[in-house]
Structures are given as C-alpha cells and as structure tokens.
Amino acid sequence: MLGILILILLVVIVGWVVAAYNRLVSLKNRAKEAWADIDVQLKRRYDLIPNLVETVKGYAAHEKEVFEKVTEARTRAMGAREGGDVRKLAEAENYLAETLKTLFAVAENYPDLKASQNFLELQRELRDTEDKIMYARRFYNANVRDLNIAIESFPTNIIASIFGFKKMDLFEIGAPEEREAPKVKF
Amino acid sequence: MPTLYTQAEKNVRKTWILMTSFFVFIIFLGWLFSQVFDSPFILYFAVIFATFQSFISYWYSDKIVLAMTRARPIEKKDNPELYRIVENLCIGAGLPLPKIYIIDEDQPNAFATGRDKNHAVVAVTRGLLERLERAELEGVIAHELAHIGNKDMLLQTITVTLVGFVAILSDFFLRMSRFGFAREKRERDASQAILFIFAILAAILAPLAAQLIHFAISRKREFLADATGALITRYPEGLARALEKIASYPYSMKVASNATAHLFFANPFRGVKISNLFSTHPPIEERIKALREMSI
C-alpha cells in the first residue's frame, strides 16, 4: 500500500517537473522569437540610414557634423546589435534616435529637400520601421516579463535554477509617447 | 501581463471541452432516437456525419465566408496605410500577416476568419476605411487579430457546426416520428411511450439549447477580443470610439446573412431589437463601457 502511494507521488512529481520544464522552454523560445521581430526591423532601419544621409547631403552638403554623428551612431548601434547585449543596444539605439532627430531638424531648413519625393519616401519608411520597432518591443517585453516571472516564482524557480534558465533583459528605449498597457480583466 | 498566448491556450482547452460535450450530447441524442426507432443506424449516421461536417467547415470556412460576403483581396500597393496598420499590429500580437480583404459595403464593419493563424483572413468594409480615423481603425483591426490569436475561429466553426447538427438530427427525428409512431402504436408498452415522449421533448428543446449556448459563447468571445485588442494597441479608447461610430450608422449590411452575422466585428443588422439571449454580439453600449473601464 505504502509502495503504491510512494509510486503515485513519484509519478506526480516527475510529471510536474516535466510540465514546468516544458513551460520554461516554450516561454524562452517565445521571447527569442519576439527578439527576431525586433532584429529584422533594426536591420531595416540601419539599411535606410545611409540612403537618408546621402539624400540630405545632396541638398545640405556643408552640414558635415550631423552626417558624421549619424554615421557614427549607426555604426555603434550595429556593433551593439552584433554584441547581443540588450542593454547596450538600447543605449546605442537611443543615441541613434537622438542624432536622427538632429538630422531631421537640419532638414527642416531646406525647403527643396523637404519637398523631394525621395526624402519624403525615406522619411515615411523610417517612421514605419520605428512604429514596427515599438510594436515588436512591446511584444518582446511582454514575453520576457512572462519568462522572468516564471523563473522567479516558486516553485518553478527550482526547476529554472536546476536547468540553468536565465532571466532575460527587457528592451527599453526612451520613447516618451509610449503608452502603458491597460489593465484588462479576462 | 497576459499575452495572446494565454488566451489561445485557454481557448484550445475550452474548444476541446466544448467539442467533447457536444459530441457526447449528439451521441446521446442519437442513442435516444435509435432506441425509439429500434435501429442503431441513426446513431452511426449521427457520429459519422458530425465528424465529417465539422472537418469540412473548419477546413474551408474562410473560402466559404469570403465568397458569401463577396470580399476581394488587396495588395500592399492598393492600400499601403491599411497594410502598415495590419503589419504593425501583427508584430505587436506576434502573429504572421493575414491576407487582407475589402468588402464593398458602406456600413463600417470587419471580420476575421480562416482555420488557423497561418491561413487567417481579415476583411474590412469600404465604409470602415472611409469613416474611421487611424486610432479607431487600429482598434478594430486589433480586435480582429485578437480573434485570430485567441483561436476563436476554431471555437466558432465548431460550435456553429455542432449547433447545426443538433438541429438536423432533431428535425430528422421529428419528421420520422410523425408516421412511425402512428403505425406502431399497438406494439408499444408504457415505458417505451415515456421514452418516446422524452425523445420528442429532447428533439424540440435540444436545438434551442444548442443555439443559446452558441450565442452565449459568441458574446463572450467578442468581449474577450475587445480586451485582447486593447492589450495589443494599448489604447482602448480607439476601439471604443470605433464602436460608437459603427453604432451610429443606421443601415443594415447588404451582404450579411444570419449565417455570417456572428463573424462580424459588430452586429451587421439594424432595426430589429432582439433579446440579449438570442444575440450573437453583446450590446455595443456594454462593450464601450467595458473598454472605458480598463484603467491605464
């Protein structure tokens, strides 16, 4: 009788360990997939920037300082992306966003540039990638939060530490217009 | 914070429970009717037919619905603005890009269909694009994507099929019993008569009950899609305003029918006041209220 009880207990425990482990794996994979979405858009943005710089140069060649800053910020961000450190990347992205702002502020002074089809198209594309980065970031952060909560909370944290699941970093960049998530009851 | 995944998992579980209980129910009805007629044929027929029909309607639901509403597909160059909105929200929801269709209809409305997220379709009416502002349109699209992410189509198709099946089975029984019972009256004893009365009662009430269950599920899914949609856009007010605009549009939709009404973002029919119990959509005022109560 006691043997059967122990056996049942064992089966339950093993079943729970398997379920908890699988849950952690799927949470981790979701977070990684979500990161891929951000990555695609970041790359697209890096590809757009040289075109943008060239276009602005065509109308405002003497604003050298701005172009250099943008190019440098882009290189830095690309390096940080290769490095894979989310926090460093966020910092580099913030810097890049700042320099781009200056670039567009400069563009404001050149009516011919502002009216150019090429420039308008690039501006639209850039805004589109930025919107997409925002959505991708939200999705990524939501998934990372789920993963981190699972890793931290008892009793899943036991499994997480045994199998070496690590918490992941949120990708936070300073966007003032960012909206908070509404509190939703299901 | 809940993501779309949470809802999808819950929904798959619920679908299984629903399917199982409906199947048990159908098999019970089939058994009851075959007891009365003394032939197991009805039972076999019931099971095979139910399986076959749910499979077909699940697999081809998108094509059938798109044909019924006369929607036509668009490409990115036809409406880049709409395309971008869908792309962005898909990223935010973690869904692949669905096919986008436009219905040539003045009433602002939309629906989503398709058997899973890789075969999903979002259709919007011309009126929706013309009358709504960007934030409102985003709200509506997010609501439709929520249906896709929550796997509501799966749940919906299966309920519709099963409800229809219960109706067919009951109808079949009632027709057969009209002459069957009269002819064999002499051979029946009391217990069989009771069984027979019970079966008739079941045949009359079952379709009604099934229909009510379907409506209740449908209303629940709408509330859920509103909530999930608000999670995707983080702006419940946009969806609330879209609902207000849609509610104020006075005419019914021409291409909608009873068979497709439950799919739409908001009830496509106007004028007839139906009781809440028999409605596929919750009252718009309640949906708006729920959205405005989501604190930020």
Residue B125 pLDDT class (50, 70, 90 cuts): very high
Q: How far is A8 from chain B (nearest CA, A)?
A: 25
Is A146 a residue whose pLDDT tops 80? yes
Residue of A nearest to B10 (CA): A186
pLDDT for residue B4:
54
Answer yes or no: is A92 within a domain: yes
Q: Please tell me the distance from the alpha carbon of residue A81 to that of residue A88, in angstroms, as a whole number.
A: 8
Percent of chain B with pLDDT over 70: 78
Give the ipTM of the model, two decimals please.
0.74
| pLDDT tens-digit readout, B196-205 | 787 788 778 8
CB-based contacts of B115: which residues, under 8 Å, 6+ apart? B58, B59, B61, B62, B153, B154, B157
Higher-confidence residue: A185 or A72? Answer: A72
| Nearest CB neighbour to A184, from listed B87, B92, B294 | B294
Mean pLDDT value across residues A106-125: 86
Name the most confidently modeled range: B89-93, B161-165, B292-296.
B89-93
Which of A132, A136, A182 lies closest to B294 in CB terms?
A182
**Predicted pLDDT at A174:** 67
Q: What average pLDDT does range B146-154 have in this prediction?
A: 84
Q: B206 — contact with chain A (CB < 8 Å)? A: no
Question: Which domain range does residue A35 map to?
Answer: 2-162
**For B91, which residue in chain A has the nearest alpha carbon?**
A136
Mean pLDDT of A4-13: 93
What confidence tens digit (pLDDT) does each residue in A16-63 have?
A: 999 999 999 999 998 998 898 899 999 999 999 998 888 888 888 788
Query: Is B84 close to A131, i.e. CB distance below 8 A?
Result: yes
Q: What is the DSSP string of B221-269?
A: HHHHHHHHHHHHHS-HHHHHHHHHHHHT--S--SS--TTTGGGBSS---
Beta strands in A68-168 (DSSP E): none
pTM, two decimal places: 0.77
Which helix (H) or strand (E) segment holds residue A35: the answer is: helix A2-59
Q: What mean pLDDT do residues A136-154 have? A: 90
Give the structural domain span for B173. 4-293
Q: In this structure, are residues B131 and B124 in contact, taking their beta carbons and an 8 Å threshold?
A: no
pLDDT at B60: 77
What is the tally of structural domains in chain A?
A: 1
* C-alpha to C-alpha distance for B139 and B125, rounded to whole angstroms: 15
Average pLDDT score over residue span B225-237: 86
Identify whether A175 is part of a domain. no
Q: Active-site residue numbers of B?
A: 144
pLDDT band at residue B97, thresholds of 50, 70 and 90? very high
Interchain proximity B2–A139, CB inside 8 Å: no
- For residue B84, the tally of other CB atoms under 10 A from its CB is 16
B27-61: per-residue pLDDT in tens?
777 777 777 776 667 667 766 776 676 677 677 77
The pLDDT score that the predictor gives to residue A25 is 93
Least confident stretch, A44-53, B134-143, B246-255 = B246-255
Q: What's the pLDDT score for residue A15?
A: 93
pLDDT category at A182 given cuts 50, 70, 90 is low
B251 in Cβ contact with B107 (< 8 Å): yes
Residue A67: inside a domain: yes
Could you tell me if residue A65 is inside a domain?
Answer: yes
Pairing mode, strands B99-103 and B121-125: parallel
CA B232, CA B86: separation in Å to the nearest integer? 12
Residue B118 or B260, more confident: B118
Q: How confident is the model at residue B1 (pLDDT cuts 50, 70, 90)?
A: very low
Residue B292 banded pLDDT, cuts 50, 70, 90: confident
pLDDT of res. B247: 84
pLDDT digits (tens, 9 = 90+) for A52-109: 888 888 888 788 888 888 999 999 999 888 887 888 888 898 889 889 988 888 888 8
Is B296's pLDDT higher than 90? no
Asked if A183 and B295 come within 8 Å (Cβ–Cβ), the reply is yes
Tokens 């939060």 correspond to A145
pLDDT band at A175 (very low <50, low <70, confident <90, very high): low
> Closest approach of chain B CAs to the CA of A2, in angstroms?
35
Residues written for chain B: 296
Contact between chains at B94 and A135 (C-beta distance less than 8 A) = no
Q: How many domains does chain B have?
A: 1
User: How sure is the predictor about A148, in pLDDT bands with cuts at 50, 70 and 90?
Assistant: very high
* Mean pLDDT value across chain A: 86
Query: Which CATH number fits the domain that encloses residue A20?
Result: 1.20.1440.20
**Lowest mean pLDDT, pick from A34-48, B1-15, B152-166:** B1-15
Average pLDDT over residues B1-21: 66
Q: How far apart are CA B84 and CA B137, in angstroms?
A: 12
- Cβ distance A138 to B92 less than 8 Å, yes or no, reads yes
Q: Tell me, yes or no, whether A83 lies in a domain.
A: yes
Residue A102 · residue A185 · CB < 8 Å: no
Over residues B66-91, the pLDDT tens digits come to: 888 888 898 888 888 899 999 999 99
Q: Is residue A173 part of a domain?
A: no
Which of A34, A132, A186 lies nearest to residue B2, judging by beta carbons? Answer: A186
Lowest-confidence region among A162-176, B48-62, B128-142: B48-62
Distance CA B288, CA B274 (A): 19
Q: What φ, ψ does residue B47 adopt, rounded to 5°?
A: -65, -50
